[in-house]
Amino acid sequence: MLSWLPEPTVLLAGLLLALVQFLAALPWLYAIDPKGFRATAASPGAAASVGAGLLAAGVGLAFFMGYKNDPVTLTWYGRYVYGKILHLQLIIDLFLLMPHLLTAVWPKGGAVAFAAYREACRQPLFWLVVAGSAAAMALSVSVPYFTFGDDYKMMKQIGFDIVMLAAVLFGVLAASMSISEEIEGRTAVTLMSKPVSRRQFLVGKYLGILMACLVMTLLLGWVLNTALRATREYDPINNAADPTDLVAKPVDKVVDPMTFQAQRAVVPVFEKPVPSAPGKAVGRGCGLWFSDTVAHSFGLMLGFGQVMILVAVASALATRLSFVVNLVLCLLLFFLGHLAPVLVRVTEGGGGTAVGLVGFLGKLFDVLLPALEFYNMGPAIIRETPLDLWRFAGYVVTVFGYSVLYTSIALVVGLLLFEDRDLA
């Protein structure tokens, strides 16, 4: 009589999946209408309404899983629908909660950072850069690279470069304009009378703009996930199965050893807690999406290290220099930071006065300027031998620590320049 009803374990899986999405949606639901959210939460029937909504969503997911009842199809939906939506919701949560957490830890400087963060995210330039970069990654899916089967690797390296360059471009422009305009327009004088110290002003401005760059990096990383998956589906050559893939067969076809290693660690975290075979298939698909995210996060972290350094330098120089001069110097720093190690290697063992002079300048730049060649993902992507994901993670953490050190030095220099600046 009731054979059309889903099994209790499938219903429990649907309720669990619905609850996770609901919890991830709470921060942005509050941000849309704080007063309405608080009024609804305080009302007597709030718990019953939420429970009824979760029950309806869980039952709906249970019926959907029972209707499909195919592990391959359910894994696909778990990956490209449930996982993608959950990932985007978590990015939005970070977008909303990050400035509030900073303000709670560091009230005065956090208030400056919050204002700079809100101003940066409201700029049309922010969303123009995001949209342009996303369009470039979407276009790169269909562009032939003529690499004889390595188009996926080439597209992956280009995708990481697009994400990094977009965040660097916006961060340097925002820091150069925001700080110099505050100082030249005498708005900084008003802030200093709050009282806000010069240290809190400069570091707060830097952190606010850096948080906006982090949000941009994460949003474009979400787009990059989609673009890389589409690349494998668009070109059959790049969708060849890996015989060592014991986790994802036959649903996922992996050509990237780093992604495969991330799958072995991440997929069980999402798959095991969900009851029933259909629920585990959806959880497995969600785990596959987040395993891509984990594998790609190391490349995004390397790119964000460059963003930290260049935005710190732009913030320091903005205390003394105009927008145009600051932008040119940051551009030179970017190119020389990548070029200096190449000059050192090329001129080693060379003869002649000109070669010696170039070698001396290369060594000088290599010592004084940030070693940006450490942030290149190319050697990790374009290689013949497999790369151990967790050893590479140790390398990424080390390089990121170098970014924090160089950023701190740049901000200290900026504070020294700012202390003697007349704001009256």
Distance CA 251, CA 249 (A): 5
pLDDT in tens, 9-28: 999 999 999 999 999 999 98
Task: Break the chain into its structural domains and give their ranges.
Answer: 1-69, 71-419
Provide the token pair at 122: 């409201």
Cα 9 to chain centroid, rounded: 36
Q: How many C-beta atoms surround the C-beta of residue 3 within 10 A?
A: 4
pTM: 0.91
- Which of 79, 59, 80, 55 minimizes the C-alpha distance to 7? 59
Cβ atoms 98, 121 nearer than 8 A: no
Distance CA 158, CA 143 (A): 12
Cβ atoms 318, 179 nearer than 8 A: yes
Q: How many C-beta atoms surround the C-beta of residue 384 within 10 A?
A: 4
Model pLDDT, residue 247 = 37
pLDDT in tens, 54-80: 999 999 999 999 888 889 899 999 999
Q: What is the DSSP string of 66-112?
A: HHH--HHHHHHHIIIIIIHHHHHHHHHHHHHHHHHHHHHHSHHHHHH
Distance CA 87, CA 180 (A): 36
In the chain, the amino acid numbered 109 is G
Cβ atoms 295, 228 nearer than 8 A: no
Cβ atoms 198, 415 nearer than 8 A: yes
Distance CA 142, CA 273 (A): 38
Residue 243 binned pLDDT confidence (cut-offs 50, 70, 90): very low
pLDDT at 237 > cutoff 80: no
Dihedral in degrees, nearest 10, Cα atoms 108, 109, 114, 117:
160
Model pLDDT, residue 361 = 81
Mean pLDDT of the chain: 86
Q: How many C-beta atoms surround the C-beta of residue 32 within 10 A?
A: 8
Residue 250 binned pLDDT confidence (cut-offs 50, 70, 90): very low
Helices 277-317 and 46-68: crossing angle in degrees, nearest 10, is 120
Residue 198 binned pLDDT confidence (cut-offs 50, 70, 90): confident
- Which of 341, 338, 333, 298 minimizes the C-alpha distance to 312? 333
Q: 62 CB contacts (<8 Å, ≥6 apart)? A: 6, 10, 11, 13, 14, 15
Residue 254 binned pLDDT confidence (cut-offs 50, 70, 90): very low
Mean pLDDT, residues 306-318: 96
Q: Is the dihedral of CA 200, 202, 206, 208 positive or negative?
A: positive
pLDDT at 125 > cutoff 50: yes
Q: How far is CA 341 from CA 127, 333, 344, 380, in A?
A: 34, 13, 5, 18
Helix and strand tally (H, E) in the chain?
16, 0
Mean pLDDT, residues 350-358: 72
Q: What is the DSSP string of 212-243?
A: HHHHHHHHHHHHHHHHHHHHHHH-GGGGPPPT
Q: Which three-class secondary structure state does DSSP give residue 332?
A: helix
Distance CA 4, CA 147 (A): 52
Residue 189 binned pLDDT confidence (cut-offs 50, 70, 90): low
